[in-house]
């Protein structure tokens, strides 16, 4: 098969310059997969998007029925080999796909054009992706057999039960959910919310973070992670949290109370006190995936904007919107900011490929902050060009904006990341002072050597 990857440029997925910058890091397999994925998303997913939303139930069955079209698309993606692309063969030789983070990053962007929807079709949707990684990395054979395999097959879905109500659980040491061992069972009591996917009738399992040992002086050894079947007695899905008025059915972001939930001890992941370690490993690459999907969303918003401002029906005061200088400038600004943000993410993805997520934390953090802010700005401009249509249910803009808005605090608010990174940058100061001392010594010597008088210092 000839290299079809230039479709990435001709379809306007990446600017030619960006593709020229990264194409030679793509394997032939990745290029072929990417070309197929572009066709699949553009030709099969995007036309089905409105249908998907129409198939979400409005009334009592809202949390019970899965839109048929998504299951059909999943079958189709599997057939095309566009399945589980997120899982890297390098790390998970048994199940993974042969893609680097950089390669998958671009694919995540392509899927991100059709929101959560195309990602789900390719079994690459959060929170399943992170959960599968956890199970692949930390699960034992039995746990993998029972939960990972059906997840990889797209037969069930899953939740990640971390965030708690009434405390600031972005600091994991604040977690209050208690895990108590009774014989060979674990008894769970806690109050969580924003448990994504827990409303979905296909959701079969929660990976739950709690504290087994809250008084451990090592604050990072208090937490443990447990596999909780979604239908275990005592798991009470209380209500759907809304994101700017949207409940995201049928998946939802649910408030869940765990009341004396009992699971067998073998459902413990790795061992007591390993919870913190597990979530640390879960976050890095996932953040990049969010970023890349955001960029896809921003590109799509820009496309909507380009169409809107050239719509002859939307002429005001005798001019099409595209004839207004400020609109033209806004479009260029969108393009510039998207391109810069994308390069930051691709560079971070490449760094993960070269030195692992741990060595790329800094690159990940900056991408994690910059890209959602950029994408929000792009979407806001696109909304503004659409007027009322831009904030209603008739385009993807408002819902996508709301979804992107959550990324500014999810996995740590911007402010926290920037404080951490600023402090890391500050660690360079002592070396800089040292270098300055040397420089000043040389400077003084040079003045002497040339006999040039120094101005008063």
Q: List the interface residues with a second copy, window 316-335 (CB under 8 A).
A: 316-317, 322, 324-333, 335
Cβ distance to a second copy smaller for residue 94 or 434: 434
Among 242, 259, 266, 271, interactor with a second copy by CB under 8 A: 242
From 30-38, 81-89, 126-134, 434-442, span contacting a second copy (CB under 8 A): 434-442
Judge whether 85 and 33 are in contact, CB under 8 Å: yes
Examine residue 232 and tell whether it contacts a second copy (CB under 8 A).
Answer: no
Among 75, 271, 310, 358, interactor with a second copy by CB under 8 A: 310
Q: Which two tokens stand for residue 109?
A: 């962007």
Cβ distance to a second copy smaller for residue 123 or 395: 395
Whether cis (ω within 30° of 0) applies to the bond prior to 225 is no
> What is the footprint of a second copy within residues 24-53 (CB under 8 A)?
42-43, 46-51
Burial of 396 per CB tally in 10 Å (0-12, 13-18, 19+): buried
Examine residue 216 and tell whether it contacts a second copy (CB under 8 A).
Answer: no
Strand partners, 383: none
Examine residue 348 and tell whether it contacts a second copy (CB under 8 A).
Answer: yes
Distance CA 14, CA 45 (A): 19
Examine residue 121 and tell whether it contacts a second copy (CB under 8 A).
Answer: no
Shortest distance, position 139 Cβ to a second copy, whole Å:
28
Distance CA 181, CA 195 (A): 24
Strand partners, 206: 159, 228
Q: Which two tokens stand for residue 260?
A: 């004396």
Examine residue 408 and tell whether it contacts a second copy (CB under 8 A).
Answer: yes
From residue 144, alpha-carbon distances to 74, 197, 298, 438 in Å are 22, 20, 36, 58
Q: Which two tokens stand for residue 38?
A: 């572009």
Q: Per-residue x/- mask for a second copy, residues 438 to 457, rule CB under 8 A? A: -xx-xx--xx--x-xxxxx-
Distance CA 289, CA 243 (A): 20
Among 83, 193, 258, 276, interactor with a second copy by CB under 8 A: 193
Distance CA 228, CA 263 (A): 7
Q: Per-residue x/- mask for a second copy, residues 63 to 92, rule CB under 8 A? A: -----xx-----------------------
Examine residue 426 and tell whether it contacts a second copy (CB under 8 A).
Answer: yes
Q: Per-residue x/- mask for a second copy, residues 256 to 295, rule CB under 8 A? A: ----------------------------------------
């Amino acid at each position: 098969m000839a290299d079809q990857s230039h479709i990435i440029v001709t379809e306007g997925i990446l600017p030619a310059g960006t593709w020229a910058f990264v194409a030679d890091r793509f394997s032939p397999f990745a290029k072929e997969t990417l070309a197929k994925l572009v066709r699949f998303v553009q030709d099969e997913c995007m036309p089905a998007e409105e249908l998907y939303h129409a198939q979400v139930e409005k009334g009592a069955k809202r949390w019970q029925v899965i839109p048929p079209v998504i299951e059909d698309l999943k079958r189709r993606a599997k057939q095309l080999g566009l399945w589980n692309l997120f899982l890297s063969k390098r790390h998970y030789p048994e199940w993974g796909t042969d893609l680097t983070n950089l390669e998958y990053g671009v694919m995540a962007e392509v899927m991100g054009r059709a929101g959560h929807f195309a990602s789900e079709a390719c079994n690459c949707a959060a929170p399943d992706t992170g959960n599968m990684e956890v199970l692949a990395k930390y699960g034992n054979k039995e746990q993998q057999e029972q939960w990972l395999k059906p997840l990889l097959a797209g037969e069930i879905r899953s939740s990640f039960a971390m965030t708690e109500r009434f405390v600031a659980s972005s600091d994991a040491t604040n977690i209050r959910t208690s895990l108590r061992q009774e014989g060979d069972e674990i008894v769970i009591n806690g109050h969580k919310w924003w448990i994504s996917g827990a409303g979905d009738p296909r959701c079969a399992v929660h990976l739950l973070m709690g504290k087994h040992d809250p008084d451990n002086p090592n604050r990072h050894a208090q937490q443990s992670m447990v596999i909780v079947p979604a239908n275990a007695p005592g798991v009470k899905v209380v209500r759907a949290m809304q994101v700017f008025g949207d409940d995201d059915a049928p998946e939802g972001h649910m408030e869940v109370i765990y009341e004396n939930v009992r699971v067998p001890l073998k459902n413990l992941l790795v061992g007591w006190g390993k919870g913190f370690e597990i979530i640390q490993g879960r976050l890095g690459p996932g953040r990049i995936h969010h970023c890349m999907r955001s960029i896809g969303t921003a590109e799509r918003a820009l496309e909507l904007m380009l169409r809107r401002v050239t719509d002859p029906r939307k002429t005001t005061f005798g001019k099409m919107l595209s004839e207004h200088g400020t609109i033209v400038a806004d479009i260029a600004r969108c393009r510039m900011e998207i391109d810069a943000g994308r390069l930051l993410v691709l560079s971070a993805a490449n760094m993960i490929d070269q030195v692992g997520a741990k060595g790329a934390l800094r690159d990940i953090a900056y991408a994690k902050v910059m890209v959602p802010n950029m994408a929000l700005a792009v979407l806001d401009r696109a909304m503004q060009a659409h007027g009322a249509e831009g904030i209603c249910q008739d385009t993807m803009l408002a819902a996508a904006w709301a979804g992107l808005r959550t990324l500014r605090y999810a996995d740590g608010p911007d402010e926290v990341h920037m404080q951490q990174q600023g402090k890391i940058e500050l660690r360079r100061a002592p070396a800089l002072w040292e270098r300055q001392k040397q420089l000043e010594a040389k400077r003084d010597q040079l003045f002497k050597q040339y006999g040039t008088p120094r101005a008063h210092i």
